[in-house]
Amino acid sequence: MSDYVIETNNLSKKYSKNLVVNSVNMHVEKGKIYGLLGKNGAGKTTTMCMLLNLTYPSSGDIFLFGKNARRYSNVYSNIGSIIETPGFYENLTAYENLKVIAKIRGDYDPFRINSVLKMVNLDTEKSKEFRDFSLGMKQRLGIAAAIMHSPELLILDEPINGLDPFGIKEIRQLLKRLSHEFGITILISSHILSEIENIADVIGFMDGGVLIEEITREELSERLDKHVEFEVSDAAMAVKIFKALELKENEDFTVSENTICLYTHLNLRDKFNELFVKAGIDVRKVNLCEENLEEFFTRFVSNN
């Protein structure tokens, strides 16, 4: 029995001659938040659609909760999802839309519907029809529908699209809570990289239909480019000190006017600072700069 809630084996999708998803081997562990990152057209939505049986794979296998999804279609009842813009009946209210879903699923409970509507702050909009909802409200109703039946797995494609900063924060906290308190596994894609950086335990990088790599948050932290910036009164003197310590220019450090960027021996930055001060150099600033996910993603995708 696999420990993965989602596991794909050479999953591919081809539209005529266009291979949009190419041999994806994805591994989503139980209880983790897995962020799927990629540019537009990278194949994220198609992959998620295949996981949800909305799109049929051209080849490859999907295992959900350790079972082959093609043979055990009952696994889908344990999944909540949002794919792009949530789809609801425009002439119905939020409650009525959730009622349709719950009735068809066979677990209609008015108390539960009211409770999830409250959770996503839609409980005050009882008589408003879906067609009059703002994009943020639609997105929140999508999340309510996805979590209403307490699924063990959430597959969310761009769930924070259209949300304002407060909405984004609320949903981020909700997803973290669902994952950490209730052990729900979440596969989430977003083009807002900082969001993925904020919540994901594991990040999968997709480009051109290929899942390039899956990296844990810890591995990512280690692989992010870091450097220390010293803004000093006498850069030439500082360079002399570095060279005396056998650090190489353009390899261990670079110089630009009064700023020296150190790329190696970062843990010794306090000692270097001490040496500068002892040599009579005024150190105006010492900054530890870390590459963010966006910069890493750009560099990573370009390199691959």
Stretch that binds other proteins, among 21-29, 86-94, 239-247, 256-264 (CB under 8 A): 86-94
Q: How far is the CB of 13 from other proteins (least distance, A)?
A: 9
Q: What is the DSSP letter of 221?
A: H
- Among 93-101, 172-180, 197-205, 224-232, the segment contacting other proteins (CB under 8 A): 93-101
Residue closer to other proteins by CB (options 7, 158) is 158
| Residue carrying the six token digits 């005396």 | 244
Q: Extract the tokens encoding 279.
A: 């040599």
Does residue 103 belong to the site contacting other proteins (CB under 8 A)? yes
Interaction between residue 55 and other proteins (CB under 8 A): yes
Kindly identify the residues of this chain, within the stretch 140-179, that bind other proteins according to CB under 8 A. 145
Per CB under 8 A, the list member of 25, 59, 90, 183 interacting with other proteins is: 90
Tell whether residue 63 is a contact of other proteins (CB under 8 A). no
207 neighbors 39 (Cβ within 8 angstroms): yes
Strand order in the sheet with 226-232: 253-256, 259-262, 226-232, 283-290
Please list, residue by residue across 29-48, b when 16 or more beta carbons sit within 10 angstroms of its beta carbon and e when fewer do.
Answer: bbebbbbbbbeeebbbbbbb
Whose CA is closest to 171, among 122, 224, 235?
A: 122
Structure tokens at 10: 């050479």
Residue placing its CB nearer to other proteins in the complex, 128 or 284: 128
Q: Using CA atoms, how far apart are residues 66 and 1, in angstroms rounded to an integer?
A: 6
**Contact flag: residue 47 with other proteins (CB under 8 A):** no
Q: Which stretch binds other proteins (CB under 8 A): 77-85, 174-182, 188-196, 213-221?
A: 77-85
User: Which of 105, 126, 243, 285 touches other proteins by CB under 8 A?
Assistant: 105
For position 72 contacting other proteins by CB under 8 A, the verdict is no
